[in-house]
Structure 1
Amino acid sequence: MTEMMKRIVQARRPNGFPVAEDFRLEEVPLPQPAEGEILVQVTHLSLDPYMRGRMDDVASYTAPQELDQTMGGGAVGRVLESRSDRFAPGDLVFGMFGWASHGVLPAKACRKLDPDLPPSTALGVLGMPGFTAWSGLEAYGKLKAGETLAVAAATGPVGSMVGQLARLKGLRAVGIAGGAQKQALLTERFGFDAAIDHRAHGDARAMRTALAEACPDGIDVYFENVGGAVTGGALPLMNLHGRIIVCGMIAWYSGETDETGAMPLQKIWRMALVKRLTIQGLLQTDHVARFGDFLREVTPLVKSGQIAYLEDVAEGLENTPAAFFSMLRGGNTGKQVVKL
């Protein structure tokens, strides 16, 4: 009898914010590894904002998600069968197995996990999100002790890492997140110097006032994760020779129009000119050659507790789309993973 596995595929292109009908849960035959490949049973899969962009058939920095194929994404799991000397059955590994119960990949495309850490950390604090934060600051932050850094979506895996790394280098870290609970987490768990609840400040003018109070010396580094009113409030506070690292704009990923943060283009460019700002787009794929450096530096900090992390765990492959929708609306607290 043929062994089966479960997976979630993208059934159609979304029209605006994605809905349940854009996905389909199905059973397919369990794949068999070829020479040099491994078969893995997935234990945890990752949900990340970039996945929303791949759902649209538009030109971007990565290929669109194929319809009727397993939704792509990082996952961790246990090796069931190995046809490579890199791994043995029972090893815990990371790979791009997607939204599925099982997967087959070339062994060289997978990474063995540290057995002294929960495997899910390879999806967040010691995975792509954590590396995104580290590589962006290393490449473009030009951090100097005594400066001020501001970051939105700050309880997420990227934002929380950004703030903690900045504080370790002697900067004042100001975090922005949605809701009083997340605001408290920023100072109490992640050690930010100040925290702002963006839900209490509904437009760019109110955000600017709140940020000005939290950043009395202005902002030297703004790590952009959100867009919208947060960006409209932060830009006017940028200091001379400030650095803006553009990592994401989750508020606009589904084509939403947000006039609360609107700023005329000519005003933005004039601000960049007068303040001699550096505005740099960040894709972690440009820096993958340094992933080993990241692990060597940050893994000991995670093990010692100097870098804290938080995970929001949904359970069951069938609940993955609902967890994805919640994440896109900011409903998660910490790195969003799904436990199978």
Structure 2
Amino acid sequence: DGSGNPKQIIGRQGFGPGEFGSWIIPYITETGFITGIIPESGGSSYNLFSPDYKFIERKNMQFSELDKQWKKEHGLSTVLYDGVYSYSQEERLICSKALGKPEGKSEKWYYVIAYQNKGDTKVISVQEDPLNTSPSIKEDGVFLFHLLPDRKFVYTNSHINRSFKDGNWYYSLFVYDLKTHEQKEIKRFYNPVSIPDSVIYRTTEYPENLPEYFLESLKKEERTRREKLEAIKVYAPLHHIITDGTLIFALTWEYDKEKGCIVEIIDSITGKYLRSAYFPFIPDFLKNGYAYRLKTGSDIFPEVEKYKVNPAVYSK
């Protein structure tokens, strides 16, 4: 509530400091079911709660029939479940990172999106993980995903899902309908943004008294990062997507020091671009016209900040 007191405790209160090793990561769908991913399990286990916050079950995906099926049918050796979105006890959308050789591809890490309903599983998308490098270069693209109402979701791989045609660059968003299993592509023109020298040739400070071999390893990684940024020259089109209702907020790399990040607002139903707006920070969530940001730190109590977004941003 407004005083910082819990309105609802899901599960039970802890008995004291140190009982829980880390936060449970909750995923909530439009039906109200809550899925809590357990970090200590490597993302393979989750707790499921009903819309009235009653515990239903704990499931370990690592020993599930789904895990066995994926590994056998899609050539996967390791599956890490990044997100599980439950619409009921039998229906869920699953996002995972998987190591393997799906459909004859080379062995790499992939992002896999799958839908499970009453035991039947449909693999929707298998795309290479853009951060499957050392060091990872987020400037060259990341995998992005967000839920939409009415059992839909939007996703893109900003490393891969961009194209060049007639002298212009375009990025693609994909809206998938779990009810009909139809997918719609939304293409949007964008201007590539050059990566500034301040990012490529950043000043790196290393802790003192590091072992020589470890220090050299860090310096080598930084050299590799610099060489990769020199080679790609420009940012990928997007670094985040967030949804609020049926609207998609696509966060670009275009940035103004005074105003913030340029965000493109797109109607997921019509596929039309509506307008752009400046966001002074990247929200953790958007909900009913409000932006939420979670502030955490080793020396502060966590805070949830709530900001009202200018209604003009939402007008259609």
Q: Pick the structure with more strand per residue.
A: 2
Q: Pick the structure with more helix per residue.
A: 1
Q: TM-score, normalised by structure 2?
A: 0.29
Q: TM-score, normalised by structure 1?
A: 0.27
